[in-house]
C-alpha cells in the first residue's frame, strides 16, 4: 500500500516538473493553449490511474490510447485508399477511350480512302449503370487522303505555280465530293459496329 | 559562446536588411528569411540535446513513456509550426502563416484525441 502511494506521488510530481520545463521551452504563441490542454489531460490520467486500478483491474490506459490512435490511422488510410481507387478508375476509362479511338481510326482508314484527324467521344462513365462503357457521342474529323495529294504535287513541275493552285483546288473539291459520299457509309458503319444511335455520330470533313 | 555567434549573425543581417530595404525590398526579405533559418538550425542542436536529456531522465525514473513521447511530439509540432509560420509572417504572408498554424493545431488535436477518449472511457468505467 505504501509503495503504491509512493509510486503515485512520484509520478505526479515528476510529470508536473516536466510540464513546467516544457512550458519554458515552448514558443509563446497560440499553440500554447493546445499544448496546455493535452498536458492537462495527461495529468488527469496520471492522477486518476490508481483510482481506476482500485475499481477495475482490467483496464489498461495505454491500450485504450493505442486503440483510438490506431482507429484514427485506419480512417486516414481508408480515405487515401478511396482516392487511389478513384484515380485508378479514371486511368482505366482513359485507357479504354484511347483504345477505342485507335480502333475507330484503324477501322475508318482500312475501309475508306480518307485520313482521320481526330476522334472525340463521350462514354458512359457511371460504373453502376448497365450501359457502362457504351459510347454516347462520337465525333470524327476527316481530311482528304494525304498520300494522293502529295502524289499530285510531286507530279506537277514547280515552275507552273498558277496552274498548280488551280489543279489543287480541283483536286480538293473532288476529294470533298468523295468524302461526302463516304461520310454516310462511315457513319452507318460506326453506328452499327459500336451500336450507337446514328444521330449521335458526327463526322466533319476538314480541308 | 554560442550566443555571441547568434547575436552577431542577427545584428549583421538586420543592418544589411535595413540598408537594402529602400533599394531592393525583395532581397532584404530573403536575408531575413535565411537568417531566421540559420539561427534556427544553430539552436536546434541544443534543443535536441535538451530533449534527449529529458528523455533519458524519464527512462531512468521509470515514468510511462507513452505520456512523454506524446508530450514531446506535441512540443515538436508546436515548435516547427511556429517557426514556419513566423518565417511566412516575416515575408508578409500572414494568410499562409495562419494556415501553417492551423495545420499544426490539427496535428496536435490528432495526437490529443486518443488521450481524450481514453480519459472519457476511464471516467465512464469509474461510475458503474
* pLDDT tens sequence across B17-69: 999 888 888 888 888 888 888 988 888 888 888 878 877 877 776 656 667 77
pLDDT in tens, B74-125: 888 888 888 888 888 877 888 999 999 999 989 988 888 888 888 888 788 7
d(Cα B67, Cα A15) in Å, to the nearest integer?
9
Closest CA to B83 of B27, B35, B18: B35
Note whether A139 and A121 are within 8 A (CB): yes
- Output DSSP code: residue A41: H
Helix (H) or strand (E) holding A116: strand A114-123
CB pairs under 8 A between A and B: 116
CA dihedral A186, A187, A190, A193 (to 10 degrees): -100
C-alpha–C-alpha distance, residues A22 and A13, integer Å: 14
Residue B110 located in a structural domain: yes
Residue B103 inside a domain? The answer is yes
The answer to the question of residue B128 being in a domain is yes
Number of structural domains (chain B) is 1
Selecting from B75, B119, B125 the residue whose C-beta is nearest the C-beta of A44 gives B119
Mean pLDDT of A72-96: 86
Considering only CB atoms, which residues of chain B are within 8 Å of chain A? 47, 50, 54, 58, 61, 63-64, 66-68, 70-71, 74-75, 78-79, 81-83, 101, 104-105, 108-119, 121-123, 125-126, 128
Instruction: Give me the pLDDT at residue A27, please.
Output: 66
Structural domain span for residue B99 = 64-128
Across the interface, whether the CB atoms of A72 and B61 are under 8 A apart is answered no
Instruction: State how far residue B8 is from chain A, nearest Cα, in angstroms.
Output: 22
Q: Is residue B50 part of a domain?
A: no
pLDDT score for A5: 84
Residue of A nearest to B122 (CA): A52
Return the percent helix, strand and coil in chain B, to nearest 5: 90, 0, 10
B125: which chain A residues are within 8 Å (Cβ-Cβ)?
Answer: 52, 55-56, 59
Q: What is the mean pLDDT of residues A129-135?
A: 76
Q: Is the ipTM of this complex over 0.85?
A: no
Do the strands A114-123 and A201-205 form a parallel or antiparallel pair, or are they unpaired? unpaired
The values of phi and psi at residue B104, to 5°, are -60, -40
Mean pLDDT of A122-135: 77
Does residue B84 fall inside a structural domain?
yes
Q: For A134, list phi and psi in degrees, rounded to 5.
A: -75, 145
Amino acid at each position: 500500500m505504501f509503495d503504491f502511494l509512493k509510486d503515485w506521488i512520484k509520478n505526479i510530481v515528476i510529470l508536473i516538473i516536466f510540464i513546467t520545463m516544457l512550458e519554458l521551452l515552448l514558443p509563446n504563441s497560440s499553440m500554447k493553449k493546445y499544448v496546455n490542454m493535452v498536458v492537462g489531460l495527461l495529468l488527469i490520467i496520471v492522477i486518476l490511474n490508481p483510482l481506476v486500478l482500485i475499481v477495475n483491474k482490467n483496464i489498461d490506459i495505454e491500450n485504450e490510447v493505442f486503440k483510438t490512435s490506431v482507429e484514427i490511422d485506419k480512417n486516414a488510410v481508408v480515405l487515401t485508399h478511396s482516392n487511389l481507387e478513384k484515380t485508378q478508375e479514371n486511368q482505366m476509362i482513359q485507357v479504354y477511350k484511347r483504345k477505342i479511338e485507335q480502333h475507330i481510326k484503324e477501322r475508318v482508314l482500312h475501309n475508306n480512302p480518307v485520313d482521320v484527324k481526330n476522334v472525340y467521344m463521350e462514354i458512359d462513365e457511371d460504373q453502376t449503370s448497365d450501359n457502362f462503357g457504351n459510347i454516347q457521342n462520337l465525333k470524327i474529323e476527316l481530311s482528304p487522303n494525304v498520300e494522293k495529294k502529295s502524289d499530285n504535287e510531286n507530279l506537277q513541275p514547280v515552275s507552273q505555280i498558277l496552274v498548280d493552285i488551280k489543279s489543287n483546288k480541283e483536286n480538293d473539291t473532288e476529294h470533298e465530293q468523295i468524302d461526302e459520299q463516304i461520310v454516310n457509309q462511315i457513319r452507318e458503319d460506326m453506328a452499327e459496329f459500336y451500336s450507337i444511335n446514328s444521330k449521335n455520330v458526327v463526322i466533319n470533313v476538314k480541308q | 559562446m554560442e550566443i555571441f555567434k547568434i547575436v552577431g549573425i542577427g545584428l549583421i543581417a538586420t543592418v544589411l536588411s535595413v540598408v537594402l530595404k529602400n533599394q531592393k525590398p525583395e532581397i532584404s526579405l530573403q536575408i531575413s528569411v535565411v537568417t531566421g533559418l540559420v539561427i534556427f538550425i544553430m539552436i536546434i542542436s541544443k534543443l535536441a540535446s535538451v530533449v534527449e536529456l529529458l528523455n533519458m531522465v524519464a527512462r531512468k525514473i521509470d515514468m510511462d513513456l507513452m505520456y512523454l513521447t506524446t508530450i514531446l511530439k506535441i512540443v515538436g509540432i508546436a515548435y516547427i509550426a511556429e517557426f514556419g509560420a513566423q518565417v511566412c509572417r516575416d515575408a508578409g504572408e500572414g494568410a499562409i502563416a495562419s494556415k501553417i498554424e492551423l495545420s499544426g493545431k490539427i496535428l496536435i488535436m490528432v495526437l490529443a484525441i486518443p488521450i481524450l477518449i481514453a480519459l472519457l472511457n476511464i471516467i465512464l468505467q469509474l461510475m458503474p
